[in-house]
Amino acid sequence: MNNAPKPNIEDLPTKAQLFRSSIIAGIGAVAILITIYLPAEYAIDPTGVGRAIGLTEMGEIKVQLAEEAEVDRLLNEQLGQDQSSSVLDGFFGLFVGTAHAQEAQAWQDTLTFTLTPGGSADIKMVMAKGATADYEWTADGGRINFDLHAHGGDDSITYERGRGETSGEGTLNAAFDGNHGWFWRNRDSVDVTITLQLRGNYSEITQSN
């Protein structure tokens, strides 16, 4: 193995030379930073050299693109929050709306009875004057005659009559204190099953044949 020749002391740089080289390297680095890097990356050009050689314009484009990207990011974040909020609001709105709809459609009472040919039934709600009740009924198997009326004390009234009907619905407004409801008669030659749904301000329901 050959040993490298020992350098002469005279050939080595002195401390002053090393210091001067470090100063020159530092000045060069600062010069590159000011004249090339800052103009090219951030459009900062204190000397004007960067603009003269086209680097400042490049930096301005980069800065503008970065600003636009940040604006887009903020807008996307805001849009995402708004969409999430809209989805949540829509979900809870749908949930609450459905609950209200189900609550509004709930019936207090459902009565089902079958009338043979020639058979009859009398269904009455006990109501106070001014009270209201919603109703809906269907006749399955045939047609039915009905008389929707009321009586109480010396008062009596006929609200509606129907012949050969299969369904009906509406709201009954009590004209006075008393019994308000239907007299049903099956004039068909087959059994007819009636389903009556009720809700509203009545104290009780009476039924007789």
Q: What does the pLDDT look like over 178-190, one tens digit per residue?
A: 999 999 999 999 9
* Greatest Cα-to-Cα distance within the chain, rounded to the nearest angstrom: 140
CA dist 37 to 28, 48, 91, Å?
12, 13, 53
pTM recorded for the entire structure = 0.51
| Separation of first and last alpha carbons in the chain | 128
Look-up: residue for tokens 């000045």?
27
Q: Determine the average pLDDT of the residues in 174-203.
A: 96
Radius of gyration in angstroms for the set of CA atoms belonging to the chain, rounded to a whole number = 47
pLDDT, tens only, 38-71: 777 877 878 787 778 777 777 677 777 777 778 7
196 vs 13, higher pLDDT: 196
Contact at 8 Å (CB) between 113 and 186?
Answer: no
Helix (H, G, I), strand (E, B) or coil at 29: helix
Lowest average pLDDT, out of 47-56, 77-86, 144-153, 162-171, goes to 77-86
Domain boundaries, the chain: 14-106, 109-208
CB 180 within 8 A of CB 102: no
3-state helix/strand/coil string of 39-71: HHHHCCCCCCHHHHCCHHHHHHHHHHHHHHHHH
pLDDT tens-digit profile of 154-172? 999 999 999 999 999 999 9
**What percent of the chain has pLDDT above 70?**
80
* CATH number given to 109-208: 2.60.120.680
